[in-house]
């Protein structure tokens, strides 16, 4: 049967159901039939009038994204991992808020138009009241995972789709979002989707738990499971508690346990929740001592309801752990250094060593790709140590013309050379006396000067040009390069003896793309820019998501430039993915556009090309007209023909 005939049959079936005839509907699942009845009885949807998928306006989408901003940030990794598993199988992924609006989307760009038409798109509205029976809408209504396969959809528009959705609840048990994976085409039988439901459920639970851990990161959290081996990896239960044991919140598994407990020992007053010591047969001191009293940081605990043995571990509050016991050997925190990173293991190592070096006279070599913050780290080292009151002189050896490096660095006496200042000049090395000399791109220093620098470092004295006697200097030298030092030495660009002198300690800065604390860096660079420009600005979740996903070849410098660009060009206060420079967007999802049915003769390819051009030009019609060599009215005409409306004109 072709699709048109199938749609007709589907509509007939639903009309018969509305007339109280059961013909053909008996084979449908109860959950689907109940939803169909809601659609016709409660929402007054007319099965004979299929409706096109609805995509909300850009502004409305933003408002919906805003309500789940924090969740979107936490969910990103889960969303990307799930999509990586299903993309090859022809599925797309939607994350909707609790109103059914798709606030995150992953899909194949080549299928852009078809997906948008089907409502498998950013900004699509899958509320059951509008779209009829569907995975997202029905999952939201019933608060449980569901597959809605082909003709189980109410609206005939959707009967070629297969969709599976699972709810994501907040720590209070309210559904805050829905995770959905869908495909345009699939085998006819529902059983073909059997593997999908557990997969979506699994990721929904992981996102839910990640959100729980994020929300209660400053609390003690008891994590437990019946399998000892799984507690640390993926323990099912999470319960946030106060130091005295009273329960603050629990994830879905934890809430089940609390419910079971309350059923057995009903609360004596409304709102009462048991202490962890009532839930499990343990003393609070035993719970608090889990980490110190057992080698594997686990303890067997018996749940009073059901008499089941679980294995539990304790997760300490993040803030306390950073400054507390888990870094027992690190010296006291140093503010200028501490702000440079949060949760990145390589940066922890760098900063731990840097803290120790603050007050040492050891020369430090900092390496790292361009823009990773080598100068920022050098400055923080200076400001954190005993030389903080002295000068910090930064010299970029690559930026000074070779003919000037010598005089700039070493200075000169009056009349030392023609063209010099009449009174002579104090060189940068002398200017750093009592403080720190930071030599960036040391590999670009000419070899003869390297010899003279070696003497400065070894003898602690400098000989200005034209001078007869060396002048003592008291300085610490920090050098930096983005190049491979051993290669520079091997190629004869850097004196080996100088290399050993400057390399008293080596700090390697990781590139931004490898840092686990990218979110923190993006936030702090953004906050600093906003403060500096005295501008109001908010980084929306979709922008943050794109920034986190990009690989940043220019590292923090490039990030800073991208954010400065966005702040300079944004209209209003909210920076979204569309305000970021084109080059750092990678696979940015296209902006939502209202789809007006395209006439059959308009080739999809033309439409895609036009859409790409418009996006690239940020919907600047004159620019697109110039690119195509046509007039502006022609561009508008073509846009109308393909149903393309600029995001800012969507109602
Ligand atoms: N942790 C940080 N927080 C905020 N901004 C930072 C941070 N680290 C670096 N930056 C900013 O990034 C830019 C590049 O930093 P920096 O000049 O220290 O990098 P670099 O590694 O020395 O670069 P190059 O290799 O080009 O000399 C600067 O504008 C700096 O202010």
Instruction: Kindly give the distance from the C-alpha atom of residue 376 to the centroid of ligand 1, in angstroms, as a whole number.
Output: 6
Tell how far CA 552 is from the center of its chain.
14
Contact 314, 220 (CB under 8 A): yes
Homologous superfamily assigned to 335-510: P-loop containing nucleotide triphosphate hydrolases (3.40.50.300)
Q: How far apart are CA 257 and CA 253, in angstroms?
A: 7
Q: Is 478 helix (H, G, I), strand (E, B) or coil?
A: strand
Top CATH class, 7-202? alpha beta
Atom nearest to 376 CA in ligand 1: 18
DSSP for 266-326 reads --SSTT---BHHHHBS--HHHHHTHHHH-TTS-EEEEBTTTT-EEEEEEE--HHHHHHTTT
The pLDDT, as a whole number, for residue 520 is 87
Q: For ligand 1, is residue 374 a contact (CB within 6 Å)? A: yes
Q: Is the pLDDT of residue 197 over 80?
A: yes
Q: Which residues pair with 164 in a beta bridge?
A: 147, 181
The pLDDT, as a whole number, for residue 449 is 86
Q: Which residues contact 152 (CB under 8 A, 6 or more apart)?
A: 28, 29, 32, 133, 190
The per-residue pLDDT for range 581-609, each reduced to its tens digit, is 887 776 444 444 333 233 333 344 467 77
Q: How confident is residue 641, by pLDDT bands cut at 50, 70 and 90?
A: confident
Q: Is 201 helix (H, G, I), strand (E, B) or coil?
A: helix
The per-residue pLDDT for range 122-134, each reduced to its tens digit, is 999 999 999 999 9
Q: Which of 39, 25, 58 is nearest to 158 (CA)?
A: 39
Atom nearest to 528 CA in ligand 1: 4
Domain boundary assignment for the chain: 7-202, 219-316, 335-510, 513-584, 604-649
Q: Atom 31 (ligand 1): residue with closest C-alpha?
A: 376
Backbone conformation region of residue 554, classed left if phi is above 0, alpha if psi is from -120 to 50, else beta: alpha
Q: What are the C-alpha distances in Å from 394 to residues 198, 406, 483?
A: 58, 15, 18
Q: Atom 28 (ligand 1): residue with closest C-alpha?
A: 557
Question: Which of 516 and 351 is assigned the larger pLDDT?
Answer: 351
Q: Is the pLDDT of residue 416 over 60?
A: yes
How much is the pTM?
A: 0.56
Contact 439, 428 (CB under 8 A): no
Atom nearest to 509 CA in ligand 1: 21
Atom nearest to 370 CA in ligand 1: 25
The pLDDT, as a whole number, for residue 206 is 95
Q: Atom 23 (ligand 1): residue with closest C-alpha?
A: 371
Q: Which residues pair with 247 in a beta bridge?
A: 241
Q: How confident is residue 649, by pLDDT bands cut at 50, 70 and 90?
A: low
Q: For ligand 1, is residue 513 a contact (CB within 6 Å)? A: no
Angle at 212 between CA 209 and CA 217, to 5 degrees: 125
> Which stretch of 46-50, 201-205, 271-275 has the lowest confidence by average pLDDT?
271-275
Instruction: Kindly give the distance from the C-alpha atom of residue 524 to the centroid of ligand 1, in angstroms, as a whole number.
Output: 12
Instruction: Kindly give the distance from the C-alpha atom of residue 536 to the centroid of ligand 1, in angstroms, as a whole number.
Output: 23
Residue of 335, 375, 383, 482 best suited for mutating to test ligand 1, as the one with most atoms within 8 Å of CB: 375
Mean pLDDT score, 71-98 = 93
CATH number of 513-584: 1.10.8.60
Q: Which residues contact 27 (CB under 8 A, 6 or more apart)?
A: none
Highest mean pLDDT among 12-16, 65-69, 100-104, 626-630: 100-104
Q: Helix 541-549 to helix 69-86 angle, to the nearest 10 degrees? A: 50
Q: For ligand 1, is residue 375 a contact (CB within 6 Å)? A: yes
Residue of 341, 344, 354, 371 best suited for mutating to test ligand 1, as the one with most atoms within 8 Å of CB: 371
The pLDDT, as a whole number, for residue 179 is 98
Atom nearest to 481 CA in ligand 1: 25
Question: Which of 26 and 604 is assigned the larger pLDDT?
Answer: 26
Highest mean pLDDT among 357-361, 435-439, 455-459: 435-439
Q: HEC profile for 500-546?
A: HHHCCEEEECCCHHHCCCHHHHHHHHHHHHHHHHCCCCEECHHHHHH
Q: How far apart are CA 368 and CA 364, in angstroms?
A: 13
The pLDDT, as a whole number, for residue 330 is 38
Q: Which residues pair with 507 in a beta bridge?
A: 366
Atom nearest to 372 CA in ligand 1: 21
DSSP for 225-240 reads ESSGGGHHHH-SEEEE
543 phi and psi angles, rounded to 5 deg: -70, -45
Q: How confident is residue 620, by pLDDT bands cut at 50, 70 and 90?
A: confident
Q: Which helix (H) or strand (E) holds 632?
A: helix 632-642
Angle at 523 between CA 517 and CA 526, to 5 degrees: 140
The per-residue pLDDT for range 231-289, each reduced to its tens digit, is 988 899 999 998 888 888 899 999 888 888 877 776 555 556 678 998 898 888 888 88
E strands, 298-403, where? Answer: 299-302, 309-315, 364-367, 392-396
Contact 103, 64 (CB under 8 A): yes
Q: Is the pLDDT of residue 644 over 50?
A: yes
> Which stretch of 12-21, 48-57, 388-397 has the lowest confidence by average pLDDT?
12-21
Query: Exposed e or buried b for every residue in 298-329, given b needs 16+ CB within 10 A?
Result: bbebebbbeeeebbbbbbebeeeeeeeeeeee
Mean pLDDT score, 17-21 = 82
Q: Write down the residue that tokens 């919140």 correspond to.
A: 249
Instruction: Kindly give the distance from the C-alpha atom of residue 559 to the centroid of ligand 1, in angstroms, as a whole number.
Output: 10
- Which residue pairs from 452-458 have beta carbons closer than 8 angstroms and sit at least 24 positions apart in sequence? 452/406, 452/410, 453/409, 453/498, 454/495, 454/497, 454/498, 454/501, 456/429, 457/363, 457/498, 457/501, 457/502, 458/501
> Which stretch of 260-269, 401-410, 438-447, 565-574 has the lowest confidence by average pLDDT?
260-269
Atom nearest to 482 CA in ligand 1: 25
Q: What spatial distance separates the first Cα and last Cα of the chain, rounded to whole Å?
A: 38
Instruction: Kindly give the distance from the C-alpha atom of residue 383 to the centroid of ligand 1, in angstroms, as a whole number.
Output: 16
Q: How far apart are CA 211 and CA 252, in angstroms?
A: 12
Q: For ligand 1, is residue 395 a contact (CB within 6 Å)? A: no
Q: How far apart are CA 367 and CA 364, in angstroms?
A: 10
Q: For ligand 1, is residue 557 a contact (CB within 6 Å)? A: yes
Q: Atom 13 (ligand 1): residue with closest C-alpha?
A: 557
In percent, the amount of the chain with pLDDT more than 90 equals 46
Query: Exposed e or buried b for every residue in 544-555, given b needs 16+ CB within 10 A?
Result: bbbbebbebebb
Q: How confident is residue 26, by pLDDT bands cut at 50, 70 and 90?
A: low
Residue of 373, 478, 554 best suited for mutating to test ligand 1, as the one with most atoms within 8 Å of CB: 373
Domain 513-584 in the same topology as domain 335-510: no
Instruction: Kindly give the distance from the C-alpha atom of residue 558 to the centroid of ligand 1, in angstroms, as a whole number.
Output: 9
């Amino acid at each position: 049967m072709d699709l048109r005939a199938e749609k007709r049959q589907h509509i007939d079936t639903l009309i018969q159901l509305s007339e109280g005839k059961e013909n053909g509907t008996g084979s449908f699942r109860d959950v689907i039939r109940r939803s169909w009845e809601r659609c016709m009885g409660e929402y007054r949807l007319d099965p004979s009038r299929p409706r096109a998928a609805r995509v909300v306006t850009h502004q409305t989408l933003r408002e919906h994204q805003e309500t789940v901003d924090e969740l979107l940030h936490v969910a990103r990794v889960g969303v990307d991992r799930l999509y990586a598993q299903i993309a090859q199988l022809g599925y797309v992924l939607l994350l909707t808020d609790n109103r059914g609006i798709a606030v995150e989307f992953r899909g194949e760009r080549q299928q852009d138009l078809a997906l948008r038409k089907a409502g498998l798109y950013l900004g699509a509205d899958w509320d059951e009241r509008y779209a009829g029976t569907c995975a997202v809408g029905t999952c939201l209504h019933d608060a449980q995972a569901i597959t809605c396969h082909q003709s189980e959809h109410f609206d005939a528009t959707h009967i070629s789709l297969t969709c599976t959705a699972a709810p994501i609840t907040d720590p209070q048990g309210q559904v805050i979002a829905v995770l959905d994976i869908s495909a345009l085409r699939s085998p006819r039988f529902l059983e073909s989707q059997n593997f999908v439901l557990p997969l979506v459920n699994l990721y929904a639970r992981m996102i839910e738990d990640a959100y729980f851990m994020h929300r209660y990161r400053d609390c003690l959290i008891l994590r437990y499971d019946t399998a000892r081996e799984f507690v640390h990896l993926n323990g099912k239960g999470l319960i946030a508690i106060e130091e005295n044991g009273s329960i603050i919140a629990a994830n879905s598994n934890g809430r089940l346990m609390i419910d079971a407990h309350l059923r057995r020992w009903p609360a004596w007053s409304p709102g009462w929740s048991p202490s962890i010591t009532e839930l499990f047969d343990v003393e609070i001191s035993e719970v608090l001592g889990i980490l110190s009293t057992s080698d594997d940081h686990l303890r067997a605990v018996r749940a009073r309801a059901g008499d089941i043995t679980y294995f539990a571990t304790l997760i300490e509050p993040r803030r306390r752990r950073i400054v507390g016991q888990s870094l027992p050997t690190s010296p006291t925190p140093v503010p200028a250094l501490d702000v440079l990173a949060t949760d990145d293991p390589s940066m922890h190592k760098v900063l731990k060593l840097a803290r120790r070096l603050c007050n040492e006279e050891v020369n430090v070599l900092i390496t790292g790709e361009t823009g990773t913050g080598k100068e920022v780290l050098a400055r923080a080292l200076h400001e954190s140590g005993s030389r903080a009151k002295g000068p910090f002189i930064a010299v970029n050896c690559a930026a000074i013309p070779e003919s000037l490096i010598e005089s700039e660095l070493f200075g000169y006496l009056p009349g030392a050379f023609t063209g010099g200042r009449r009174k002579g000049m104090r060189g940068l090395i002398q200017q750093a006396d009592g403080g720190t000399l930071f030599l960036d791109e040391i590999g670009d220093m000419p070899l003869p000067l390297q010899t003279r620098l070696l003497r400065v470092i070894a003898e602690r004295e400098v000989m200005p040009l034209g001078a007869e006697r060396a002048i003592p200097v008291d300085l610490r030298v920090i050098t930096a390069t983005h190049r491979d030092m051993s290669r520079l030495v091997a190629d004869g660009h850097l004196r080996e003896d100088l290399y050993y002198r400057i390399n008293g300690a080596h700090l390697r800065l990781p590139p931004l793309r490898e840092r686990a604390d990218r979110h923190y860096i993006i936030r702090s660079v953004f906050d600093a820019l906003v403060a500096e420009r005295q501008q109001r600005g908010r980084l929306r979740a979709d922008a943050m998501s794109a920034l986190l996903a990009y690989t940043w070849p220019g590292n923090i410098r490039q990030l800073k430039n991208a954010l400065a660009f966005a702040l300079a060009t944004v209209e209003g206060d909210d920076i979204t993915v569309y305000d970021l420079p084109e080059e750092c967007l990678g696979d940015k999802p296209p902006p939502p556009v209202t789809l007006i049915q395209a006439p059959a003769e308009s080739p999809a390819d033309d439409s895609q090309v036009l859409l790409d051009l418009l996006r690239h030009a940020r919907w600047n019609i004159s620019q697109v007209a110039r690119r195509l060599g046509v007039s502006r009215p022609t561009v508008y005409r073509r846009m109308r023909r393909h149903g393309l409306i600029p995001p800012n004109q969507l109602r």
